Copies of this chain bind each other. A is one copy, B any other.
Amino acid sequence: MSHVVAFDLMQKDIRLVEERMYAQADNHNPDLQAAIRHLVISGGKRVRPTLTLLVGEMLGGEKDRLVTLAASIELLHTATLVHDDLIDGSLLRRGIPTLNAKWSPGATVLTGDFIFATAARLAAETESVRVMRLFAETLAIIVNGEITQMFQSQGLASREDYYLRIYAKTASMFELSTSAAAMLSPVDEDVITMMRKFGYQIGMAFQIVDDILDFTGDQVRVGKPVASDLRQGLITLPALYYLELHPDDPTMKAITTGSVSEKALQELVRDIRSSGAIQLALDEAKTFVQKALQKIQQFPDHPARQSMIELANYIVDREL
């Protein structure tokens, strides 16, 4: 993986975001404090708060409010992960034990709820009603997407379904990260719209690459078995492209019924990897990033703008 300057540049500010996240458990139950500390420490690359800070810096937003917003969004993301891991019964995330692996289901549900509450409190602290509203709407979109997926009759999803699903799952929160930062900055409505689209495109690319990594990634580094989506009957973009190339593949047809042997599954994964499907999916992620970069290029040169370009390129380059 190439070194990404954007993350270095933001490191000091990201630390402020993490401190704001920690502080939310102050004066609360000590077990809760420990849980939140554990969750914050086991956080990932902080792509969402980095985007928030960069967009805000480029557009002249006030630092303190942007840190508050970034902490709010990262806590919202964290809360959804806590509930997701519980629902999926996941014991590891990024190679670190989930809260779910350590605590009872009840304590895990409540900790997720508490983190939602602190995320909402921080969103209110931005003092922007519009940001608050977008925050709540984004949570509704994410959860509605998960429920739709849960109740969906298992079947070979279309690419259209796939885009809707990854918008709800990922791109909606990227949109929040970039457009709420613009809302807190002294800019016109069209800049907010442009930043929303930028976030959308980066988010779509991010999830497509995540879905590619599920096929191509190193099991140890990714922290979960290869093709974990396929194992759950979840058809992502590489598999959808493979299906378009090989519409009669019997294993693909059987996958949504769950009646596929480990051997057949591993063969299918090999076939998908060696087909053109991975490249088609990657091209699509790159197209999203290109569209995102076109938006950014309309702004005058600025270190934050340069970092955003780097971050956007990192999204499609990581681990591939």
| CB neighbours of A111 from chain B (8 A) | 147
Q: Please tell me if A266 contacts chain B, counting CB pairs below 8 Å.
A: no
Q: Please tell me if A114 contacts chain B, counting CB pairs below 8 Å.
A: yes
Distance, CA A32 to CA B135, complexed state (A)? 20
Instruction: Specify the chain B residue showing the minimal Cβ separation from A120.
Output: B136
Name the residue among A123, A124, A127, A139 with the largest chain B CB count within 10 angstroms.
Answer: A124
Contact for A86 among B109, B135, B144, B148, CB less than 8 A: B109
Question: Chain A: how many interface residues by the 8 Å CB criterion?
Answer: 43
Interface residues of A in 110-167 (CB under 8 A from B): 110-114, 116-118, 120-121, 123-125, 127-129, 132-133, 135-137, 139-140, 143-144, 146-148, 150-151
Q: Please tell me if A87 contacts chain B, counting CB pairs below 8 Å.
A: yes
Number of copies: 2
Nearest CB of chain B from residue A103's CB, rounded to whole Å: 10
Distance, CA A128 to CA B118, complexed state (A)? 18
Distance, CA A135 to CA B150, complexed state (A)? 29
Name A's interface SS. Answer: helix
Whether the Cβ atoms of B106 and A87 lie closer than 8 Å is yes
Q: Please tell me if A28 contacts chain B, counting CB pairs below 8 Å.
A: yes
Q: Please tell me if A31 contacts chain B, counting CB pairs below 8 Å.
A: yes
| CB neighbours of A136 from chain B (8 A) | 117-118, 120-121, 123-124
A117-B139, A143-B114 known; A31-B129 Cβ under 8 A? no
| CB neighbours of A148 from chain B (8 A) | 29
A120-B135, A124-B129, A133-B124 known; A31-B147 Cβ under 8 A? yes
Q: Please tell me if A105 contacts chain B, counting CB pairs below 8 Å.
A: yes
Nearest CB of chain B from residue A275's CB, rounded to whole Å: 33
Instruction: Specify the chain B residue showing the minimal Cβ separation from A30.
Output: B151
Interface residues of A in 164-184 (CB under 8 A from B): none
* 15 further A-B pairs in the complex, CB-CB below 8 A; given A104-B150, A114-B143, A124-B136: A28-B144, A29-B147, A87-B105, A105-B105, A110-B143, A110-B146, A110-B150, A114-B140, A114-B144, A116-B116, A117-B137, A121-B136, A121-B137, A124-B129, A125-B133
